[in-house]
């Protein structure tokens, strides 16, 4: 198919099936990192701009301002180009440097929050305050405010339509991460509308306050709501069956494991979701067709999640998580952790990629 503009590349992402040995279960992994900005957030970024233009709040040639840890900003930078808008991203030092570099490359103006924030401290509150202030002072500027913007959750109905049409036999569970809660809300609402029995599990980092646990710093990027911040209005708790936490080690070790065993590079928040999906599956709480989205790719975290020295310095390496994952994926555990030679656990079973995709039962 030949497309006319970069934003036409948003959506219709491919899906990978990982059948789980010994279980009546398949992880169906929607590769949202294949969106042009490399994340699931391209969907909502463009949708928020379209909604603001349609309502007249944003005028052609106007300015879009947003506080972003990176992925929403990258999506907004791409959509701003489509509509001839200027984009100002307000970031803090917690954001992955590579994501900021991408926004810059796409012509975005970057403003850092002022003040002394430790590396593991998320300055979301100040970021949002500054973004609102910048928007209020510049003529023609609009603060997108993704955490409270209904066009955020509303962007994911296409995702739901795509997975429903691609998966034979229905969707038994969706396991996703929560930051603003936009993707979880849009996807969970859509899936439950189609089949109220679909289980929805939301995963936040340990240290995030969305599900009432005490807040403390965490390293997972883009996901969760840190202490001091308020949970966004866009998050609809009523469509979430279970809210759970995942530690930085569980999330990052799973991302590293999936990279070395399958060749798929996923970011830390997706690592956390895969870990929890497997834990729930092996606890007998979910089975069947379990949908997961690759919120973004590991390519964005080569200096952190995929850098052993960075992990070691922060005490985030944990070989026991590899043993657990081997057990869950039906692999014989190896004494060398991680294994030097990547192994494709799907290919070993002699199942070709084409047979797997779309033939989940």
Ligand X SMILES: Cc1ncc(COP(=O)(O)O)c(C=O)c1O
The residue among 184 and 274 lying less far from ligand X, judged by its C-beta, is 184
Question: Between the CA of residue 64 and those of 104, 108, 134, 144, 353, what are the distances in Å?
Answer: 15, 10, 10, 7, 41
Q: Which of 47, 145, 149, 180 binds ligand X (CB under 6 A)?
A: 180
Q: Which of 182, 205, 226, 297 binds ligand X (CB under 6 A)?
A: 182
Annotate 74-128 with DSSP letters as a single string: HHHHHHHHHTT-EEEEEE-TTS-HHHHHHHHHTT-EEEEPPS---TT---HHHHH
Q: For 331, what's the count of Cα atoms within 13 Å in the CB-facing half-sphere?
A: 23
The residue among 121 and 287 lying less far from ligand X, judged by its C-beta, is 121
Q: Which of 13, 71, 198, 208 binds ligand X (CB under 6 A)?
A: 71
Q: Which of 38, 190, 222, 288 binds ligand X (CB under 6 A)?
A: 222
The residue among 7 and 71 lying less far from ligand X, judged by its C-beta, is 71
Cβ 69 vs Cβ 99: under 8 Å: yes
Q: Which of 177, 259, 265, 290 binds ligand X (CB under 6 A)?
A: 177
The residue among 18 and 301 lying less far from ligand X, judged by its C-beta, is 301
Would you call 187 exposed, middle or buried from its count of C-beta atoms within 10 A (0-12, 13-18, 19+)? buried
Give residues 83-142 in contact with ligand X (rule: CB under 6 A): none
- The reply to whether 250 sits near ligand X by the rule CB under 6 A is no
Write down the least CB distance from residue 348 to ligand X, Å.
Answer: 30
- The reply to whether 145 sits near ligand X by the rule CB under 6 A is no
Write down the least CB distance from residue 157 to ligand X, Å.
Answer: 14
30 sits in which H/E element: strand 25-30
Write down the least CB distance from residue 136 to ligand X, Å.
Answer: 24
Q: Which of 26, 200, 223, 304 binds ligand X (CB under 6 A)?
A: 223
Contact region with ligand X (CB under 6 A), list: 47-55, 110-118, 128-136, 178-186: 178-186
Cβ 279 vs Cβ 247: under 8 Å: no
Write down the least CB distance from residue 48 to ligand X, Å.
Answer: 12
The residue among 43 and 356 lying less far from ligand X, judged by its C-beta, is 43
- The reply to whether 254 sits near ligand X by the rule CB under 6 A is no
- The reply to whether 13 sits near ligand X by the rule CB under 6 A is no
Q: Which of 290, 221, 201 is nearest to 73 (CA)?
A: 221
Q: Which residues neighbour 137 within 8 Å (Cβ) at sequence distance 6 or greater?
A: none
Write down the least CB distance from residue 179 to ligand X, Å.
Answer: 3
Backbone angles phi, psi at 219, to 5 degrees: -100, -15
Look at the block and give the residue holding tokens 């970024």.
45
Q: How many residues bind ligand X (CB under 6 A)?
A: 19
- The reply to whether 202 sits near ligand X by the rule CB under 6 A is no
The span from the CA of 192 to the CA of 155, in Å, is: 16
- The reply to whether 304 sits near ligand X by the rule CB under 6 A is no
25 sits in which H/E element: strand 25-30
The span from the CA of 80 to the CA of 177, in Å, is: 26
- The reply to whether 7 sits near ligand X by the rule CB under 6 A is no
Give residues 34-53 in contact with ligand X (rule: CB under 6 A): 39, 41
SS3 32: helix
The residue number whose beta carbon is nearest to ligand X equals: 222
Q: How many CB atoms lie within 10 A of CB 24?
A: 12
Site residues (vs ligand X, CB under 6 A): 39, 41, 69, 71-72, 177-184, 222-223, 267, 269, 295-296
């Amino acid at each position: 198919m030949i497309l006319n503009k970069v934003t036409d590349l948003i959506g219709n992402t491919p899906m990978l099936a990982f059948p789980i040995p010994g279980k009546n279960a398949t992880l169906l992994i929607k590769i949202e990192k294949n969106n042009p900005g490399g994340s699931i957030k391209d969907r909502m970024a463009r949708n928020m701009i379209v909604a603001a233009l349609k309502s007249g709040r944003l005028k052609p040639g106007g300015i879009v301002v947003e506080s972003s840890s990176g992925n929403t900003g990258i999506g907004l930078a791409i959509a701003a180009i489509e509509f001839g808008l200027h984009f100002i991203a307000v970031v803090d030092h917690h954001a992955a440097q590579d994501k900021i570099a991408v926004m810059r490359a796409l012509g975005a103006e970057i403003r850092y929050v002022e003040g002394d924030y430790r590396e593991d401290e998320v300055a979301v509150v100040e970021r949002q305050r500054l973004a609102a202030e910048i928007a209020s002072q510049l003529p023609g500027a609009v603060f997108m405010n993704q955490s409270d913007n209904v066009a955020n959750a509303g962007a994911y109905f296409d995702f739901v339509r795509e997975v429903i049409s691609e998966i034979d036999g229905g969707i038994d569970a969706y396991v996703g991460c929560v930051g603003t809660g936009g993707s979880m809300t849009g996807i969970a609402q859509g899936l439950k509308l189609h089949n109220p029995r679909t289980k929805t599990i939301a995963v936040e980092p340990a240290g995030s306050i969305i599900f009432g646990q005490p807040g403390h710093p965490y390293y997972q990027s883009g996901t969760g709501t840190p202490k001091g911040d308020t949970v966004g209005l866009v998050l609809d708790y009523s469509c979430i069956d279970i809210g759970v936490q995942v530690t930085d080690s569980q999330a990052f070790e799973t991302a590293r494991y999936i990279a070395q065993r399958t060749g798929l590079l996923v970011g830390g928040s997706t690592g956390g979701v895969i870990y929890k999906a497997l834990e729930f599956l092996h606890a007998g709480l979910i089975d069947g067709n379990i949908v997961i989205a690759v919120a973004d790719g590991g390519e964005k975290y080569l200096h952190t999640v995929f850098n052993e020295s960075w992990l070691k310095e922060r005490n985030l390496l944990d070989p026991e998580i590899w043993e657990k994952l081997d057990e869950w994926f039906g692999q014989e555990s190896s004494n060398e952790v991680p294994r030097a030679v990547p192994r494709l656990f799907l290919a070993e079973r002699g199942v070709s990629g084409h047979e797997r995709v779309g033939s989940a039962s």
